[in-house]
Amino acid sequence: MRNFSFTTATLNNNNDKNYSLSINVIKERRSKKVAYGDGGDGSPLQKKIRAHANFTEYTPLALILIGALEASAALPRAAVAALAAAFLLARALHASNMGYGGAFANRVRGTGGTFVSLAALSACNLYAAARTL
């Protein structure tokens, strides 16, 4: 039996989130009849565009870090799973506020969680690299 890949699971979950954020932007564009840009009025469309862009700014780096850590086998699989889950939760919290009516505190928690999970992933990858020296 093959080992379960946390990278694949995280990638698929993030792909679903990216798709959902894209659909929300498209729906808002159609409802506001805005073909290009964001309408320039501080609208929900601007927030949804930024939520989608912010997601795409951080997710690829996290996936690369998770994949590298998983491939190194330097940590127990449960630790890799926990780091991947922390990133997923942080991104969900952040997006919940960006144009979707969630509490602003969730955005702050999501931002902090994103930074902490990326820092932890980086530190763990440095540990994995140091073990090979």
CA 7 to chain centre: 13
Could you tell me if residue 1 is inside a domain?
A: no
- Give the domain CATH number at 30: 1.20.120.550
Task: Name the residue with higher pLDDT: 21 or 62.
Answer: 62
Domain count, the chain: 1
pLDDT bracket for residue 83 (50, 70, 90): very high
Residue 95 has pLDDT above 60, yes or no: yes
Residue 90: which of 10, 6, 4, 9 has the closest Cα? Answer: 10
Could you tell me if residue 38 is inside a domain?
A: yes
Domain range holding 83?
6-131
CA distance 125 to 65: 7
